Amino acid sequence: MALIEAHGLCLDFPYYHLGARSLKKRLLGNARLHTDPSNRVVVTALRDLSFTIRDGERVALIGHNGAGKTTLLRMLAGVYEPVAGRLTVAGSIGAMIDVSAGVDAESTGRQNVRLRCLYRGMEEAETAALTAEVEAFADLGEFFDVPIRTYSAGMGVRLAFAMATAMQPEVLLMDEWFLAGDAGFLAKAEERLTRLVTGADIMVVATHDTSVVRRWCTRAIRLEGGVITGDGTVDEVLGPVEA
Amino acid sequence: MLEQLPAVTALYQVDAANPQRRQRAIADVVMGMARWRLAVALAWLDIRNRYRGSVLGPFWLTLSTGVMLLGIGITYSALFRLTLVEYLPHLAVSLVVWNFISQMVTEATTSFVQSEAIIRQMPLPYTIHALRCMLRNALIGAHNLPLIALVFLVCGTWPGWEVLLVIPGLMLIAINGFALALLLGMVCARFRDIGPIVGSIMQLFFFLTPIIWKPQLLGEWAALLPLNPFYSILETVRGPLIDGGGALIAWVAAFAYTIINVVLAAAFLVRFRSRVAFWV
């Protein structure tokens, strides 16, 4: 049984690199007598979000670029902590947000799988099992023991996909590319995704691809400028399927 | 609300009104230390990637330190009117330990920025990134140790049993390296100008610290040396190796600086841990 409960979540995203970041500007800025006391550019990324996601729900976060979808995913994953509000996520979390993070291009496929297992804090036995599974699925042959810097784009995607999907979390958080177009590169990838999605108690996927939403999700939450503007079944939020 | 939650394998709860900063910071350190295997693996990868394709690898550092030792040794022993046998052991230990300390401080400034991608992808304890930075520099620094042994062999210097004091000395350096990787890592992620400032400060301290020159040359001013944290920390390793254990005042000062450093790092971790993800 898994559960996500959010109550009044807020997040201000500071954009330090827009000019407020440097020490010089900070010192000079403060000398400019209260014209702009905090002197930093803040974007309100998420504003007062409240929702409850229960067991068995597969939720799509929809909205335009910059609406806060990925930020919300990262917050659910525990990367960003809210500045206001309360968040509870019950269940083991599996995040597939940026799959290339933590991949070492100079290491072989096998070494990268080991590294990923260390990142996930797995034991030796689990690591061995997962390595065997990824090796079988990615089907790289002898390239599995060659630095991934030398891989073709397709081989890289296969390995990344195999590593990312080799888990069975109770709460699955993912960014859209897994479910959109390219991920269907093989029939077995499709099958694996289905197993991952249906095996999870809760799935939250950030996407702006309506076909992904209709195909995989039971509920949609629409975000606009960091605010929830729609929450309900897919048909309620997206409107009925166009003829 | 908790009692109605079903039995699950994991529970993540965060409440902005009750941030529990101290508990989360403690959990960060405890869980990060428990996962030292990841930090070791990452430190090892860093070294391998840095010296990829190079024949000598990290031993290039040994070689360049060796050349520097020889050059400075010959010139300055003449300048200071000391025999090479008197001067070289002091220089070898000081230079090797200084390189070690200086690398740790300089790289501490990028401990979090370097791991930006992974910090945004999964919630790892920040301790792991700091530990990785410290371990990487400890491993690289260890490559210079044969130089000290070589110089001792050539000059016929043999320390007594007090050489065992290098163990607490090196531990002090490691603890300071870890605390600085947390502290400077956070500060430099937020203010990107501090990294270069730290670089200049370390250059200054290379001359202010008795590395090339012996502390005795200062005469009565030598009493002020413990005010220099780098001297004090350096002395906890140099003392046991060539000075019969090192001055007590240096040890006391080194412990005091370490405590200040650790307390500052802990305070910053408690206060700013949740902000690091936005800064990197």
List chain A domain ranges.
100-168
Q: What's the rounded Cα separation, in Å, for the pair A69 and A80?
A: 13
Interface residue of B2, B14, B24, B275 to substitute, partner A, most A CBs within 10 Å: B14
Q: Which of A3-7, A12-16, B125-129 has the lowest mean pLDDT?
A: A12-16
Q: Compare CB distances from B38 to A90, A107, A118 and report the shortest one's residue.
A: A118
Confidence (pLDDT) at B230? 96
H or E element at residue B12: strand B11-15
Confidence (pLDDT) at A28? 53
Q: Compare CB distances from A104 to B11, B17, B45 and report the shortest one's residue.
A: B45
H helix intervals, B80-165: 84-108, 116-121, 126-142, 145-155
pLDDT interval class at A195 (50, 70, 90): confident
Instruction: State how many domains chain B has.
Output: 1
Query: Token pair for residue A163?
Result: 């590593």
- Chain B residues touching residue A16 (CB < 8 angstroms): 190, 278-279
pLDDT interval class at A191 (50, 70, 90): confident
- Chain B residues touching residue A168 (CB < 8 angstroms): none
CB distance A86 to B15 below 8 Å: yes
CA atoms within 13 A on the CB side of B142: 9
Q: What's the rounded Cα separation, in Å, for the pair A47 and A45?
A: 7
B21 close to A (CB below 8 A): no
DSSP annotation of B244 reads T
Over the stretch B192-213, which tens digit does the pLDDT of each residue have?
A: 899 999 999 999 999 999 999 9
B121 close to A (CB below 8 A): yes
Q: Is B16 exposed, middle or buried (0-12, 13-18, 19+ CB in 10 A)?
A: middle
Cβ within 8 Å, pair A98-B6: no
- Chain B residues touching residue A19 (CB < 8 angstroms): none
Residues 6+ away with beta carbon under 8 Å from B40 = B135
- Bridge partner list, A94: A172
- Bridge partner list, A13: A43
In the block, tokens 């959990």 appear at B27
Confidence (pLDDT) at B207? 95
DSSP annotation of B233 reads H
Annotate chain A with DSSP letters as a single string: --EEEEEEEEEEEE-GGGTT-SHHHHHHHHHSTTSSSS---EEEEEEEEEEEEETT-EEEEE-STTSSHHHHHHHHHTSSPPSEEEEEEES-EEEES-TTTT--TTSBHHHHHHHHHHHTT--HHHHHHHHHHHHHHH--GGGGGSBGGG--HHHHHHHHHHHHHS---SEEEEEGGGTSGGGGGSHHHHHHHHHHHHHSSEEEEE---HHHHHHH-SEEEEEETTEEEEEE-HHHHH-SPP-
Q: Could you tell me if the ipTM is greater than 0.95? A: no
- The single-letter code of the amino acid at B55 is V
pLDDT interval class at A27 (50, 70, 90): low
CB distance B136 to B107 below 8 Å: yes
Q: Phi/psi of residue B19, each to 5°?
A: -70, -15
Average pLDDT estimate for B86-97: 94
B3 close to A (CB below 8 A): no
Residues 6+ away with beta carbon under 8 Å from A47 = A10, A225, A226, A227
Confidence (pLDDT) at A79? 92
B4 has a pLDDT exceeding 70? no
Q: Phi/psi of residue A42, each to 5°?
A: -120, 130
Q: Compare CB distances from B120 to A3, A79, A88 and report the shortest one's residue.
A: A79
Q: What's the rounded Cα separation, in Å, for the pair A109 and A117?
A: 12
Over the stretch A44-54, which tens digit does the pLDDT of each residue have?
A: 789 899 999 99
Q: Which of A4-8, A136-140, B136-140 has the lowest mean pLDDT?
A: A136-140
Mean pLDDT taken over chain A: 83
User: How many pairs of residues across A and B have Cβ atoms under 8 Å apart?
Assistant: 123
Q: What percent of chain B has pLDDT over 90?
A: 74
A26 has a pLDDT exceeding 70? no
Range of the domain at B102: 58-279
Confidence (pLDDT) at B172? 96
Q: What's the rounded Cα separation, in Å, for the pair B174 and B194?
A: 22
Mean pLDDT taken over chain B: 91
Q: How far is CA B130 from the centre of its chain?
A: 11
Q: Compare CB distances from A83 to B7, B16, B279 and report the shortest one's residue.
A: B16
H or E element at residue B20: none
A88 has a pLDDT exceeding 90? yes
CB distance B222 to B232 below 8 Å: no
Cβ within 8 Å, pair A98-B277: no
